[in-house]
Amino acid sequence: MLHQITPDTHGVLLDLHYADDRNFTGRPVYGRAACYLRPEAEALLRRAVDLAAQLDLRLKVFDAFRPAEAQWVLWNHTPDPEFLADPRRGSPHSMGVAVDVTLVDAGGTDLDMGTPFDAFTPRSHHGSTEVSAAAQRHRHLLLGIMSAAGWDFYRAEWWHYQMFEARRHFPVLSDSVLPEPMMPG
């Protein structure tokens, strides 16, 4: 049902912030670092990887499938509907059809996007002019690659991409669908 995404199989870099303490909760949310997507989203990711490669760039993935249990952990910590989907409504991440990504150059260095991943501020919005011109160009480049690959974007987060009409087409999934749990004990 869900396909595992790895650097070897998909040519991406993984930097899964919710598997360690480098996230807005300050502690690991996942007990195991792993990256999964539904087959339909996995195909779009492959297309985006190919498009980025044509420009000598790579994608770095911060998050993909997020078990419903993890969405509740995030929401209970920071119930901010501008930056987090209310778990009662369902997150496209918890449906396995969303990715949080950035671009890196051929040497593996992150392109400047003006804010870090998960910066809950208006400066993180697509189209923000409160970041440098270089960061704006990089965001537009990421948006172009992801859009051309078939992804929809979320206006408040330069890093977030999801399949169109996700809530209409896909159910929310729990940790139990995985061959090995991501959530701690």
Question: What size, in residues, is the chain?
Answer: 185
In the block, tokens 């396909």 appear at 3
DSSP character for 11? -
Backbone angles phi, psi at 40, to 5 degrees: -65, -40
- CA-nearest of 129, 184, 178 to 158 is 129
- Whether 157 is catalytic is yes
Q: What is the DSSP string of 18-44?
A: GGSS-STTSS-S-SS---EE-HHHHHH
Cα distance between residue 90 and residue 156, in whole Å: 17
Residue 84 in contact with residue 78, Cβ under 8 Å?
Answer: yes
Encoded tokens for 157 = 């987060």
Instruction: Tell me the helix, strand and coil percentages in the chain, rounded to 5.
Output: 35, 15, 55
The catalytic position among 40, 82, 157, 180 is 157
The amino acid that residue 86 corresponds to is D
**Which residues participate in catalysis according to the annotation?**
157
